[in-house]
Structure 1
Amino acid sequence: MKDLHTRHRAVLPDWLALYYGEPIELTHGEGRHVWDAQGRRYLDFFGGILTTMTAHALPEVTKAVAEQAGRIIHSSTLYLNRTMVELAERVAALSGIPDARVFFTTSGTEANDAALLLATAHRGSNQILAMRNSYHGRSFATVGITGNRSWSPTSLSPLQTLYVHGGVRTRGPYAALSDAEFTEACVADLRDMLGQTRGVAALIAEPIQGVGGFTSPPDGLYAAFREVLKEHGALWIADEVQTGWGRTGDHFWGWQAHAASGPPDLLTFAKGIGNGMSIGGVVGRAEVMNCLDANSISTFGGSPVTMAAGLANLTYLLEHDLQGNARRVGGLLIERLRAICAHLPAVREVRGRGLMIGIELVRPGTDEASPDAAAAVLEAAREGGLLIGKGGGHSTSVLRIAPPLTLTVAEAEEGAAILERALGEV
């Protein structure tokens, strides 16, 4: 393993992050478990960054991939593609957006990049509103709208970005307010900002901030934002790369917690839909999606193989009500974790929805983030046989827990017990 790590460092850039003091190589997986090169089994509570959405080696998906690969692997969007059309039809119907059109990409970064292109072209403006503490990808445009310093390596951008309050409920100048007062203050801030701008193109927002540490505003905040945006003709882009497909349990899409004003103008998705295959995309109102006046194609977006995987994965998810499972098992898991952490002075908050849970760690007796503690818990959990993630806005001090949506009650209890020991050790 050390040899592979040495080779990795010799040919890949230093900024390509690796988990653990001694990084591990994952060789295979099944269900909610993975194995490393030494044969050790782990319960997977991170799913390759919320991407293995249903299960590792799900037979329905692997069969669909193998059968499609045996017919044709690639054609590009220059030719009719039956699997792409079929998946687009299902995504459009599920999106809740009337007269929707779908464009497939290969990642969430590329999906958000495409949404920014569409919004700015439609509005004839390069002004974008984004949320503080947000993350939207690693391309030049998406880095430029990311409101999380840890993941934004340059201040250069093709866009003029203004950052809005509201994505983090329990930190910042409005943290002490009630939910209603918090929403009112954030809306007033948005209205004030829009009064000082010229033709903002869109607001892009994650209903629950992923890399930012699974933080979210009170339900209804983005609906209130939407009413203000409409007054100025600005669009709403919902970044559902991490919140989509039922992961939050309560809703199929994160925007539905803010549904009073209807669906977003554009919705971006990726990660879980492919269960590990490279699928991203944008779905939106036809008026916006059709606004480009130049030719375009996608070489790899909508690949027959990835589309076949997406269709099989989505069918499995819907037929087995994995959204309902996320709500039931996720609800049990978050309550178990809250009970574990209730008397731990290093835990500031346990938050989340469904199978999207964050544990924020601080230096005891303070509100100061503790990335060292998070790193130590990450290591201790791995030693105990559990893989989790980490993130956070002020630093990487939030443990991120997002298992495949087929997680069982027994596995949730097993993972919680390992976390309890890891937190206790640290």
Structure 2
Amino acid sequence: MNDDLLSRHRAVLPDWLALYYEHPIEITHGEGRHVWDSDGNRYLDFFGGILTTMTAHALPEVTKAVTEQAGRIIHSSTLYLNRPMVDLAERIAKLSGIPDARVFFTTSGTEANDTALLLATAYRRSNTVLAMRNSYHGRSFSAVGVTGNRGWSPTSLSPLQTLYVHGGVRTRGPFAGLDDYDFVAACVDDLKDLLGHSRPPAALIAEPIQGVGGFTSPPDGLYAAFREVLHERGVLWISDEVQTGWGRTGEHFWGWQAHARSGPPDMLTFAKGIGNGMSIGGVVARAEIMNCLDSHSISTFGGTQITMAAGLANLTYLLEHDLQGNARRVGGLLIERLRAAAAHVPAVREVRGRGLMIGIELTRPGTDEADPAAASAVLEAAREGGLLIGKGGGHDTSALRIAPPLSLNVAEAEEGAAILEDALRSIQ
């Protein structure tokens, strides 16, 4: 059955639409932290539809909210008052930490980042944008234009002049050999030098932990140090929280809070996990920035009633069950278990991450040379063992990405770690 579906897929969908696995699988249903494919195979899900299934598959509270809302009205657009949208916006504005916050809902993280770039460039009257090397911000024309990861940037054409800054990857690049203090200082000096050679930028857009880049991150405080330099020049800071938001890192609710010395960002973007699979994205910004547009604008599908109902139910469940705390506790156990397993696998260069956002970088043993073939082999072996994971990385996709639903329990973490250990050992 999958062979027929694969043939049909290839006949009508783009060649560049990536599929995992030598023999792609069709996922038909899920429950909790598990999913099943069309052949009846059961998998422990450590990737959650690219970090979108944040709490659990088929979470009853979300399913009930969606069903009840669908029985009333599914959609009306932003041209009419929308109670669920206002309810969710109020909660997100308060949680964001941004003073006098306004919230605009979109349908994806790409669209959220696109909107943030529109706001920043309009507010600052500049099309120059700072971004991080190894970054990824989405698939739209403007988002691709600020993506610092060659593997995910299909065109060099862009409406923006983008300047790339050091610091998103701690263990690679010219400053990798420095201690954390000197690393941050060197990155700040690089930023100051870059600003001295460029037109005044509109904003810096940065992921606190780079998602597609392989779950890499700088030392805590780097973006606070950047913010001090940028603030003197009126340059905005956009924190891309599409993957780090909603408590996934365990230590903080937002990724920017690891860099909180200078307070919250001017804008943050979100998506993925808030809808637990429903299509929700958005931007939070100070009112003066959000309200800077001087033309009409709406969103046809952003903030539609059915997705807002899902987001409200999902956020309520997340907070009431302290899934951030669970990510910290279970994620801490999982990362230590994986580090112990990786110590016996020469191909593992680094196990990194926070909470339930963990990356394992693979290289050819004894070198820093990326090994994408090894990453693909581990991905396949993990699936054969009953575990679904992701992959990414800025060096030829040689990092494994592990991001289970935040309700993962200790037994499931141990089960997944054991499968992944066997998969890593199989490439030796």
Q: What TM-score results when the alignment is normalised by the length of structure 1?
A: 1.00
Q: How far is 1:290 from its partner? A: 0.4
Paired with 1:199 and 1:358, the residues of 2 have a C-alpha distance of: 35
Report the equivalent of 1:280. 281
Determine the C-alpha separation between the residues in 1 that align with 2:199 and 2:130: 12
**Residue 11 (structure 1) aligns with:** 12
Once the two structures are overlaid, the 10-residue window that deviates more, 191-200 or 35-44, is 191-200
* Matching residue of 1:341: 342
The answer to whether structure 1 residue 330 and structure 2 residue 331 are counterparts is yes
- Counterpart in the other structure of 1:88: 89
Q: 2-side partners of 1:176 and 1:310: how far apart? A: 43
What do residues 358-377 of structure 1 show as CA deviations (whole Å, max 9, x unaligned)? 00000011110000000000
* Match in the other structure for 2:308: 307
Residue 393 (1) aligns with residue 399 (2): no
- What is the distance in 2 between the residues matched to 1:173 and 1:14? 36
**Equivalent residue number for residue 147 of structure 1:** 148
1:320 aligns with 2:321: yes
Show the counterpart of 1:68.
Answer: 69
Asked if 1:176 corresponds to 2:177, the answer is yes
Q: 1:296-317 CA distances to partner (integer Å, 9 max, x unpaired)?
A: 0000000000000000000000
Q: Distance in 2 between matches of 1:116 and 1:364?
A: 41
* Cα distance in 1 for residues equivalent to 2:357 and 2:285: 25
Please list, as runs of the form range in 1=range in 2, the aligned pairs for 1:37-56 lying within 5 A after superposition.
37-56=38-57
What residue is the counterpart of 2:370 in the other structure? 369
Is residue 228 of structure 1 aligned with residue 229 of structure 2?
yes
Q: Which residue of 2 aligns with 1:24?
A: 25
Residues 149-174 of structure 1 deviation map (CA, whole Å, 9 limit, x = unaligned): 00000000000000000000000000
Alpha-carbon distance in 2 for matches of 1:43, 1:343: 24
The CA distance in 2 between the partners of 1:405 and 1:44, in whole Å, is: 11
Q: Counterpart amino acid of 1:194?
A: L
Displacement, 1:199?
A: 1.6
Aligned length: 426
Q: Which residues of structure 2 form unaligned runs of 5+? A: none
How many Å separate the matches in 1 of 2:369 and 2:404? 28
Q: Distance in 2 between matches of 1:131 and 1:194?
A: 14
Give the secondary structure class of the aligned counterpart of 1:22: coil
CA distance in 1, matches of 2:84, 2:425: 49
Matched position secondary structure for 1:68: helix
**Distance (whole Å) between structure 1 residues aligned to residue 344 and residue 314 of structure 2:** 40
- Distance in 1 separating the partners of 2:194 and 2:309: 44
SS in 1 for 2:368: coil
The alpha carbon displacement at 1:343 in A equals 2.2
Whether 2:195 is the aligned partner of 1:185: answer: no
SS in 2 for 1:71: coil
Q: Distance in 1 between matches of 2:93 and 2:249?
A: 20
Cα drift, residue 279 of structure 1: 0.1
Partner of 2:403: 402
Rounded to whole Å, the distance in 2 between the matches of 1:394 and 1:349 is 13
- 1 CA distance for matches of 2:196 and 2:104? 33
Equivalent residue number for residue 167 of structure 1: 168
CA RMSD of aligned residues (A): 0.4
Corresponding letter in the other structure for 2:147: T
Q: Percent identity?
A: 84
Which residues of structure 1 form unaligned runs of 5+?
Answer: none
1:291 CA drift (Å): 0.3
1:81-160 equivalence runs, <5 A: 81-160=82-161
Report SS of the residue matched to 1:314. Answer: helix
Whole-Å Cα distance in 2 between the matches of residues 393 and 259 of structure 1? 26
Distance between the aligned counterparts of 1:76 and 1:142, measured in 2? 24
How far has the Cα of 1:318 moved from its partner? Answer: 0.1
